[in-house]
Amino acid sequence: MLKIDIATLFPEMCEAVLSASIIGRARKAGYLDIACFHIRDYTADKHRNVDDTPYGPGKGMLMQADPMYRTWEAACARRGGRPHVIYMTPQGKTLTQERAKELSQMEHLYIMCGHYEGVDQRVIDEIVDEELSIGDYVLTGGELGALVLADCVGRLCPGVLADESCFTEESHWDGLLEYPQYTKPAVWHGAAVPEIITNGNHAAIARWRREMSLKTTFEKRPELLEKAALNEKDKWYLRTIGWTEQTEKEP
Ligand SMILES: C[S@@+](CC[C@H](N)C(=O)[O-])C[C@H]1O[C@@H](n2cnc3c(N)ncnc32)[C@H](O)[C@@H]1O
């Protein structure tokens, strides 16, 4: 079972999210082992301070190396091993479904949340294996990123969702976006569900879904098609809706 530890100044914020819905149920059922470590519990300072002013000119506070380091030591001691350490930061590589898949196969992840102006570089240099961002913008703290990461990695772990098809047929798994989906009623506000998905012909439905997935990707995120694994039939279909293959990159 995947273990995920989150080092944070706001464990109650993380717990509130990670106790709800599918991830909360998976934790209760024993498919995921997630723990939050309150960085303030690991200070040597009697006032439980975790931050100080940065060296050099500039405003704001920076998280100190020592409480971050002690929190990591506590997690290693409690779990009995060294985790893969991820620091959530706008400077990291952007999180992708592909990386989430790889991370879901690890044994133990430790996610470090910064706050204020960030974290003293020395502890990053000493314990962090990987820096991840959830997008090219700046948040007040790493918690939202850590929650995004724990959710998207956690749902890929065995037992969390009903079966693998719950995520292998979704957007970004194979580089494409998902086809449109419909539920009851068959007609809503005058719009009927496409006839082809109601007629029980599984081969025809599979082909329709593939084509709709290609079309959706072409319309919403055409750049994804450059990296997706497309067969000749896919390319033929895409050409009929206006796609042209990029064989050469502009210099
Ligand atoms: C205000 S930010 C610090 C930004 C830092 N001074 C910089 O310019 O790179 C405070 C904390 O929020 C988190 N954070 C902010 N934006 C993030 C993002 N896009 N992805 C992941 N974490 C982020 C990081 O943990 C960071 O230490």
Domain final residue pick, 119, 154, 189? 154
- The CATH number of whichever domain residue 213 belongs to comes to 1.10.1270.20
Average pLDDT, the chain: 95
- Residues 119-130 pLDDT 10s: 999 999 999 999
pLDDT at position 229 over 80: yes
Domain final residue pick, 124, 154, 184? 154
pLDDT at position 250 over 80: no
Same domain membership, residue 184 and residue 110: no
Q: What percent of the chain has pLDDT over 70?
A: 98
If you average pLDDT over residues 131-144, what whole number do you get?
A: 98
**Domain carrying residue 25:** 2-154
Nearest CA, atom 19, ligand 1: 90
Atom of ligand 1 lying closest to residue 140 CA: 1
Same domain membership, residue 142 and residue 33: yes
Return the ∠ at Cα 84 (arms to 80 and 88), rounded to 5°.
Answer: 125
pLDDT at position 20 over 90: yes
Burial class (CB in 10 A: 0-12, 13-18, 19+), 242: exposed
Atom of ligand 1 lying closest to residue 119 CA: 27
Same domain membership, residue 95 and residue 129: yes
Is residue 122 in some structural domain? yes
- The CATH number of whichever domain residue 89 belongs to comes to 3.40.1280.10
pLDDT at position 86 over 60: yes
- Residues 41-57 pLDDT 10s: 999 989 999 999 999 99
Is residue 241 in some structural domain? yes
Domain total in the chain: 2
Mutation test of ligand 1: which of 13, 51, 64, 88 has the most ligand atoms closer than 8 Å to its C-beta? 88
Terminal Cα-to-Cα distance of the chain (whole angstroms): 47
pLDDT at position 234 over 90: yes
Separation CA 61–CA 9 (nearest Å): 14
Predicted confidence at residue 31, as pLDDT, reads 96
What single DSSP character describes residue 122?
A: H
List, in order, residues 6 or more apart from 11 with CB less than 8 Å away. Answer: 36, 37, 38
Confidence band, pLDDT 50/70/90 cuts, at residue 167: confident
Instruction: Find the residues whose C-beta lies inside 6 A of ligand 1.
Output: 88-91, 113-115, 117-119, 133-135, 137-142, 145
